[in-house]
Amino acid sequence: MAALGFLLIAVIVFMFGWNQIGATDGKTTSIIAGAAALLMAAAVVFQGATVFGTSALAPVGALLLLWAIYGALVAGIGISNTGGRALGLYALFLAVAMIAFAVWFFSQGIVAGVFVTLAVAVPFFLQFFEYIAPYRAIAVFTGYLLLIAGIISFGASIGMYLGLVA
């Protein structure tokens, strides 16, 4: 389930990165992010991962639900064409959560999870400043960092599917 999650994270992050640098419009990004959010939520429900249980998949299920909420936020903001302050606040929360998940992945020996969560945490800290403290000058830089994080997440998911990375 982690490999599927990293693939869907890559979709959301990569598309939002394209949106940040101005290569796509908000509607296209919102449709793709909304679809990825629905797939993440469905993966958690149908895989039977309990988020607050003692299952080994519980932290991965929680990670996917956090990303499903982010995808839904991106979709809602893109469709309604409203300001991104809520997205900026959630980006800060998600960045801190990604650091906590990186510690958990490290303790479990899941190298791909450490790389993905840390690669995503950095642009999300910047995204907080971009949306909350209207500092739009870093939007393009954040977009390129999101593109790189999306590529890292995609590579980690493919590596996990092929059994190359733990």
pLDDT of residue 21 exceeding 60: yes
Q: Judge whether 98 and 62 are in contact, CB under 8 Å.
A: no
Confidence of residue 96 (pLDDT cuts 50, 70, 90): very high
Question: Residue 48 region, left (φ>0) first, then alpha (ψ -120 to 50), else beta?
Answer: left
Amino acid 165: pLDDT: 81
Higher pLDDT, 138 or 55: 138
Residue 115 belongs to domain spanning: 2-162
Q: What is the pLDDT of residues 133-152, one digit of tens each?
A: 777 778 899 999 999 999 99
Q: What 8-state DSSP symbol labels residue 43? A: H
pLDDT of residue 121 exceeding 90: yes
Give the integer Cα–Cα distance in Å for 44 and 37: 11
Contacts of 2 (CB under 8 A, 6+ apart): 60, 110, 112, 113, 160
The structural domain count of the chain equals: 1
pLDDT of residue 55 exceeding 70: no
Predicted structure pTM score: 0.87
Q: What CATH number is given to the structural domain containing 154?
A: 1.25.40.600
